């Protein structure tokens, strides 16, 4: 009798757990094999993703981070439950500013690094998503923090035609001559001691020139909009903090992505 009661209790606890708010945002673990190496990501796909065209967000962790940490700290699948969100996992990668021996996970910084393993990974993920779901090809986005932001910029340089907009954070890029104009939101800390704010400002200034932007217009707190003559605005969120990813950034990034699609 006690065993039966325990089973009933377990059943109801399980039922309650499945009905908790946010459980619908369960993430699926997927793997791909790229050049003989197993790659993995966590994917959130809303129910309608197999029936109707659905936006896609690639969200990239920083150096030393991981896909689970990114899902928890970014939480884009909770901010935008109508979109598919992919949290890929990087591999051990030598850093430029820290972890020079490459003991922690990260992303390639330049074309050709690590035999382009991460660009190949992105290509495989996108092919898989298009096979399994109805991807809205006018609304594909990339965002990432720190080394993930740098890889976001590398995706712009090498796969720019795929994306509608980008949102790097705590990152800088020297690849802007390879960019085609795209809408972008850049998040930066004025007291960033790792990726110096001066480096990030130089990146923002170069993006404004690329996108033929006018003078800035103050928006919400810490936000500035630089309207573009060619329809590719630059938006900045420059906060007084350091290198950390601001907790308010995901909502701003999702709002920005929702406003931009390919023609």
- Structural contact between residues 238 and 219, judged by C-beta atoms closer than 8 angstroms: no
Say if CB 144 and CB 152 are below 8 A apart. Answer: yes
Q: Rounded to two decimals, what is the model's pTM? A: 0.89
**Ramachandran angles phi, psi of 225, nearest 5°:** -105, 130
User: In degrees, to the nearest 5, what angle opens at C-alpha 50 toward C-alphas 46 and 52?
Assistant: 90
First to last CA, the chain: 65
Residue ranges of the domains in the chain? Answer: 26-258
CB 113 within 8 A of CB 119: no
d(CA 16, CA 238): 41
Dump pLDDT digits (tens) for 115-137: 999 999 999 999 999 999 999 99
pLDDT one-digit tens code per residue, 75-128 = 999 999 999 999 999 999 987 778 788 789 999 999 999 999 999 999 999 999
Dist CA 165 CA 204 (whole Å)? 15
Q: Are 113 and 154 within 8 A, CB to CB?
A: no
The class of domain 26-258 in CATH terms is: alpha beta
Give residue-wise pLDDT tens across range 145-179. Answer: 999 999 999 999 999 999 999 999 999 999 999 99
């Amino acid at each position: 009798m006690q065993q039966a009661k325990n089973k009933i209790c377990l059943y109801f606890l399980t039922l309650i757990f499945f009905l908790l708010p946010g459980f619908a945002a369960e993430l699926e673990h997927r793997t791909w094999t790229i050049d003989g190496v197993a790659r993995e990501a966590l994917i959130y796909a809303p129910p309608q993703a197999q029936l109707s065209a659905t936006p896609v967000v690639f969200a990239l962790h920083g150096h030393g981070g991981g896909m689970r940490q990114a899902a928890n700290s970014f939480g884009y699948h909770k901010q935008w439950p109508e979109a598919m969100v992919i949290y890929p996992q990087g591999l051990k990668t030598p850093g430029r500013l820290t972890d020079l021996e490459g003991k922690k996970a990260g992303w390639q910084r330049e074309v050709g690094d690590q035999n382009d393993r991460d660009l190949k990974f992105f290509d495989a993920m996108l092919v898989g998503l298009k096979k399994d779901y109805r991807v809205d090809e006018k609304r594909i986005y990339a965002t990432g923090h720190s080394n993930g932001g740098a890889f976001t910029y590398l995706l712009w340089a090498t796969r720019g035609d795929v994306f509608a907009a980008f949102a790097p954070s705590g990152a800088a890029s020297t690849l802007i001559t390879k960019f085609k104009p795209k809408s972008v939101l850049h998040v930066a800390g004025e007291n960033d001691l790792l990726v110096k704010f001066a480096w990030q400002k130089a990146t923002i200034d170069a993006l404004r020139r690329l996108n033929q932007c006018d003078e800035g217009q103050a928006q919400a707190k810490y936000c500035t909009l630089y309207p573009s003559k060619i329809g590719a605005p630059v938006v900045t969120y420059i906060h007084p903090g350091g290198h950390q990813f601001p907790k308010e950034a995901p909502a701003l990034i999702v709002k920005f992505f929702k406003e931009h699609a390919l023609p």
